[in-house]
Structure 1
Amino acid sequence: MNADKVLVERRGNIALVTLNDPGRRNALSREIVRGVSVSLQRALDEGARAVVIAANGPAFCAGANIDDLRDGWMERPAPDEDPALMFERIAEFERPVIAAVHGPALGGGMELMLACDLVVACEAAWFSMPELGHGVIPNTGVALLPRVIGMRRAFDLILTRRRVAADEALDIGLVNRVVPAHAVLDSVLSLAGQVVEAVPPGALKAAKRNLRAHAAIDWERVVKSPLDVPKTEWREGLDAFMQKRTPDYDRFWREPATTLQGIEGD
């Protein structure tokens, strides 16, 4: 694990995992994905009763690292570097995982907090899934978001790519609590302590397992779904983002057969 990109410390019975790449707004990179996965296992091995995921800098997580997206993440990344598998580890983790969202959570950052069991956000936090505008899909988001806020709202957020402020996020059930910025971490640590206080680990694990089972996710589908998007489209979207220009998607609308080639056979 790259200790500079993911920090781990104990706060009593709680493992605090902190994304620590503020210069890139904690964008999910190979190093961060590996680091979070290793941190979860470390927390379990060391007997932590709950995990809090926080971040340093002004943003919680600004989505996926575009360089990594263009360099293999859209086409079968290594298992220990696959964000979807990291999200699955978080969602299926046998201890409670709570997100402390102190700033913007975009794209993969929003998927990260969706994978957590509970979310506390600051009043200035906001959420967005801009992926379609970049020619890619929020593959974990399309699985998790409808289960959290309902199908109609999920369509709204994914298709329009609009920003959701903290107060609306609380209203629609996207987050559990909204607190002042200075109180986010303390509030999350207090909530984590409340969750694990006076309950046995086996019952807690069983509650999580069965809550997830009744809203089952097809993680195999999640992992392979980026391949549904035609390569020409996501290349154009990501290249345009890197080159700071408007992507040219009109040509794909004029070539419907090409546009649909990524999902043939489904």
Structure 2
Amino acid sequence: MATPISPPAEPAAPDFRDDLAADTRLLGDHVEACEKLTAGLPPRRERSAAQRETAARADAAARRARHLFLDLHSRRVHDELTDGGSRQVRLDELAFTAADRFPGLVPTRAQIAADRQLPQAEKSGGEIDQGIFFAHLLDRRDTGAHLLDSMLAPTTRALGLLPEFRRTGHVDLGQAVVRRDGCVAEVTICNPHVLNAEDDAVVEALETAVDLALLDDAVSVGVLRGAVLSHRRYSGRRAFGAGINLTDLYTGRIGFVDFMLRRETGYIRKLVHGLNVGSGHRLLDLPSGKPWVGAVETFAIGGATQVALVLDRVIAASDAYFSLPALTEGIVPGVANMRLGRVVGRRMAQRLIFFGEQVAADSPEALALCDEVVAPEAMDAAVAAAADRLSDPAVPANRRMMHLAEESDDLFRTYMSRYALEQSARMHRPDVVAKLERTWIHRRRPGAGARQADAQHRPDLS
């Protein structure tokens, strides 16, 4: 009878001593030892139960060490990466610089690039380690506030395009277009072949467009709407958005940092608070927020409903609907879990998130999600009237005070700390991949698209 092979021994936990340089070396050595346990294993889907258990134990051991290291050193790590908080560093740069300076703490740029070539089911899970990193930085009030303030700074791309926008009043960013008409800047989401769903490139384009609207002193009000669709079922109609591009998530093209974190701390938070140009004095660093009108046409699904929650005036076409099918996707719906209950009440929030309830714009329940419902042909006039009303100079100060009362910086920071842990882990859970795979396969069966759309309240993108 063959003697059972014992699984390889798990490396002993590092004995950190509160010395950053020495503990960095200990962390790197420990993570390297953990990685050796999985170095010879086959790809994830080909592993036996015993091999999966070995990999899970090695990953868990490395992650416990990262948590312990950051418990001791998150402030010093942040100071090292930002020159003592004197530099504003965006999320991606912060993560990749941390990988270079603190080996084993987070995946390197090359490791993330390699993961991006794999479907979600085959990824290494390195994004979970990025989640741990940002969770610890956000958990501290000082480092978290600096990180969030840094993400409210205008992007380099927007600053480069600002002279053109001021001169012409129009910039086409590919996945978004921003156009100024009088004092109103209209930002249009342009991903029509997938129903204006969001992906990494859309998030980047939207942040740039929002920055331009906020940077231009001639603009008093922003309008956010979706482009006219090219999809055969909705040809000629605008749609506010179909949420996250689930096909891209399944195929591994949605990034944790570039989508999940950047979206919430970048363009969506800028819609709420505006830009922070950083004068160096906390009381003078009031973000330059402007009011925003949302034009919800055809549907606002998932992430599009999340965006609608932060806008100052939401106009919906009478034939549109809202939905937030979080359980169908298996991931956390951004900051909706924090904001939705305040807007619609706890019970309705649970019906939307847990049960995928679809809310027609012309139903009584939709009054909690939008401010005005008009016939589709009356949308342009209603949006223009709302923008005119919100251009009053007293609006910015009043909306700043409302946001301060409703959603403090500390509340948002604390939520995002936990969100970083939860969402990075959810993206790599087997049930999420299984749900995406079932949807992916089902949509490729002849005639299945309409049934899938009806079942999930999400239009077929095939």
TM-score by length of 1: 0.82
Q: CA deviation at 1:69?
A: 2.7
- For residue 65 of structure 1, the aligned residue among 232, 245, 249 is 245
| Structure 1 match to 2:19 | none
Count of residue correspondences: 240
**Map of 1:253 onto structure 2:** none
Distance in 2 between the 1:215 and 1:44 partners? Answer: 22
Q: C-alpha separation between the residues in 1 aligned to 2:241 and 2:222? A: 17
Q: Relative to 1, partners in 2 of residues 1:169 and 1:81: Cα closer, same or farther, differing over 3 Å? A: farther
User: What is the aligned-residue RMSD (CA, Å)?
Assistant: 2.3
- Note the 1:1-266 alignment, pairs <5 A: 3-47=173-217, 48-57=219-228, 58=237, 59-70=239-250, 71=252, 73=254, 76-78=256-258, 82-85=262-265, 86-93=267-274, 94-168=289-363, 171-197=366-392, 199=393, 203-216=394-407, 218-220=411-413, 221-222=415-416, 223-224=419-420, 225-227=422-424, 229=426, 231-244=429-442
Q: CA deviation at 1:209?
A: 1.8
Larger radius of gyration: 2
Cα deviation digits, residues 160-190 of structure 1 (max 9, x gap): 1021000226654210000111121221122
The C-alpha deviation readout for 1:119-143, integer Å capped at 9, x for no partner, is 0000001011112112222122212
Secondary structure at the aligned position of 2:406 is classed as coil
Question: Post-superposition shift, 1:115?
Answer: 2.2
Is 1:136–1:237's contact at 8 Å kept on the other side of the alignment? Answer: no
How much does 1:231 deviate? 1.6
Give yes or no for contact 1:63–1:109 (8 Å, CA) kept in 2: yes
- How many percent of aligned residue pairs carry the same amino acid? 25
Unaligned runs of 5+ in 2: 1-156, 158-171, 229-236, 275-288, 444-462
Distance change in 2, residues 1:37/1:77 (3 Å): same
How far apart in 1 are the matches of 2:260 and 2:425?
22
Question: Which moves more between the two structures, 89-98 or 213-222?
Answer: 213-222
Contact 2:321 2:360 in 1 (8 A): yes
Give the residue type in structure 2 aligned to 1:227.
S
User: Going by fraction, where is strand more abundant, 1 or 2?
Assistant: 1
Query: In structure 2, the residue corresponding to 1:110 is in which secondary structure?
Result: helix
Deviates more, 1:79-88 or 1:141-150: 79-88
Contact 2:199 / 2:259 at 8 angstroms: preserved in 1?
Answer: no
- 1: CA distance between counterparts of 2:259 and 2:356? 28
